[in-house]
Amino acid sequence: MSSTLSVISKSLAPALAVPETKIHEWLQVIVYRACEELLLSGSVHLPGIGMLRKAHVASRPAEQNGEMWLLPPRCTVEILPESDDSSGGLLYDEALDTLGLDDEMAEKFAMGFATAVQKTLEFKGQLELEPLGVLTLVGKDLTIQPSEWLLDLLNKPYQELVAISLSEKWPNQIASEQPALTKQESQTASASSADLPAVETESSTTTAQLVSPVPPVQRVELNPSDFGLDSEVLPQQDENKIFIEQSGLLADLNIKRPKPKKKKFQPPIPIYSEEIDKILSSNTQKSTADSATPSAVASEPTPSQTPAPPPKVPRKGISKATVITLIIVGISVVAIIAVFFLVSQSLRTFPTSSTASKSPAATTTEAKKTVAEQDTELLSQASGKEKQQTAKQSESTENPKANKPDGTKLTFPTPTNPKDAAPSATRARPSDIIVDLPPELSTPVVEAKGGWCIVVASRPNEAEALEVAKVFAQKGFSVSVKPRIVNGEQRYRVRIGQFAQQQDALKAIKQYTAYLPKGAFLDKVQ
């Protein structure tokens, strides 16, 4: 792999807190995945580079060594300028799906890759990403020279096509290019024709040979088996695994996949002539035996004229008895369900007319029940009042009150729940306030000035982001919450400080690691 990937992995290792070899493997997977996207979908977006697109170049004439050639069509790769959006493109998506990183880690990985690519192009003017190709920055124009491996992969449909020479001359073209004779030359030729008849015959034959038409091209019949059209249908493979399996990336990462089993062709077993004769002889013997048995049976005397009943052959399938039993069981189950449903409905709802037609005895029982219920309610209320009085007495014992000499009472504050008092204690605790806070981190963010901020948290909900902002504000930081749309999802970023240059913000992250959380990254003030 190129040295550029090793440089990028070294620069990303301390920022992501991941070993350099692990980041190198991630970058290998991303580059091979980009080549796969170019082959399958025709375009791929990489952060810091832009949109790479597969372009088709039609067949065109070209001159080489004084001859004209017709070049076959080819595919190449062109680069489009990067848009202003802050999405991570393929790098962010693959970090979430393939590499298994979380949202914040994937975003840091994509932004770090984009920053490393831009810095490398600014200082060196060239960036090598094998097997993708070489990126070159000239002024503000960024170009790509795809590698030979990628071009061979993209031009597989055209690998059988070769360049055709347009300078070859056919015999009819040579005859047409001969110059026409003048009148004097025609007269001298006619005068000399009488003296030299043999030469005339030879010249006529030669011109006839030159002017002879081109023989017709014989028609060639194509056999479908030569092109694999009559072969068995191959099972469809996953398009996302074709490129990685063919490129040998799995072997580099020590990943082994089981090989698919190939179906072997089993030819039919031949039957010899002796076996055919045996089969035919056995069939003829059976036919003769069948034809001879009716005559023998007819000649024998039978005791009774009534024929014997045919033997009972067991029928395949379900018998009538089983069908009848199944029907009976089904009817009984339906009846049980219907009865259960009716009983449940009757227990749930009662008709209003039944209340009017109740007997006096029923009304008296209901009156007794209501009186009993009223008694129980009175007892429960009395017990509740007693409990309240005991609770007040216990509170008075726990919270004693002292009287002043002038008669006024001194009330002491009641102790609160330690869980409820935890937030207020943490807010009022003076140890949380950082005394020696750097001025770069306590300056308020002014959107009009621009520059860069340090992101200490990124939350999907605004309420969670505000809670984190309150915690940092209590420590003395000047905090601002800014919504951002990342990969189609809205995120709320908690930012502190404001720096004019990106390098100053990166130095502040490295210098003030004791005040910042692990994983802090930069955000551009816009």
Whether 468 contacts 457, CB under 8 Å: yes
CA proximity to 232, closest of 258, 262, 260, 259? 262
Report the mean per-residue pLDDT for the chain.
Answer: 70
Give SS3 for 365: helix
Residue ending a domain, choose from 142, 164, 186: 164
What domain count does the chain have? 2
Cα(483)–Cα(90) distance, rounded to whole angstroms?
A: 23
Q: Which residues pair with 44 in a beta bridge?
A: 52
Residue ending a domain, choose from 140, 164, 188: 164
| Beta-carbon count within 10 A of 15 CB | 20
> Is the per-residue pLDDT at 424 higher than 80?
no
Position 112 in a domain: yes
> Is the per-residue pLDDT at 337 higher than 90?
yes
Q: What is the H or E stretch that residue 63 is in?
A: strand 60-64
pLDDT tens-digit series, residues 388-401: 554 554 444 344 33
Give SS3 for 106: helix
Report residue 7's pLDDT band, with 50, 70 and 90 as the boundaries.
confident
Cα(83)–Cα(212) distance, rounded to whole angstroms?
A: 64
Cα(521)–Cα(111) distance, rounded to whole angstroms?
A: 9
Residue ending a domain, choose from 136, 164, 192: 164
Give SS3 for 52: strand
> Is the per-residue pLDDT at 71 higher than 90?
no
Q: Which residues pair with 459 in a beta bridge?
A: 492
Whether 489 contacts 478, CB under 8 Å: no
Distance of CA 188 to the CA centre of its chain: 86
Better-predicted residue by pLDDT, 70 or 171: 70
pLDDT tens-digit series, residues 154-163: 888 888 888 8
Position 487 in a domain: yes
> Is the per-residue pLDDT at 292 higher than 60?
no
| 3-state class percentages of the chain: helix first, strand second, coil last, to nearest 5 | 50, 15, 35
**Domain extent at residue 460:** 431-524
CA proximity to 375, closest of 385, 364, 383? 383
- One-character DSSP codes across 161-172: ---EES----HH
Position 442 in a domain: yes
CA proximity to 52, closest of 138, 146, 158? 146
CA proximity to 104, closest of 518, 524, 433? 518
Position 129 in a domain: yes
Better-predicted residue by pLDDT, 215 or 318: 318
CATH of the domain at 478: 3.30.70.1070
Q: What is the H or E stretch that residue 493 is in?
A: strand 489-499
Cα(481)–Cα(445) distance, rounded to whole angstroms?
A: 10
Whether 62 contacts 141, CB under 8 Å: no
Cα(347)–Cα(341) distance, rounded to whole angstroms?
A: 10
Query: What does the pLDDT average to over 208-224?
Result: 54
- Mode of pairing for the β-strands spanning 67-71 and 60-64: antiparallel
The radius of gyration computed from the CA coordinates of the chain, to the nearest angstrom, equals 48
- Mode of pairing for the β-strands spanning 409-411 and 401-403: antiparallel
Position 227 in a domain: no
pTM score, two decimals? 0.33
Q: What is the H or E stretch that residue 143 is in?
A: strand 141-146
Position 482 in a domain: yes
Better-predicted residue by pLDDT, 23 or 368: 23
Query: What does the pLDDT average to over 351-365?
Result: 44
338 exposure class (CB count in 10 Å sphere: 0-12, 13-18, 19+): exposed
- Whether the ω angle into residue 47 lies within 30 degrees of 0, i.e. cis, is no
Position 303 in a domain: no
pLDDT tens-digit series, residues 84-137: 555 668 888 888 888 888 888 888 888 888 888 888 888 888 888 888 888 898
Cα(516)–Cα(506) distance, rounded to whole angstroms?
A: 12
Position 209 in a domain: no
Q: Which residues pair with 523 in a beta bridge?
A: 453
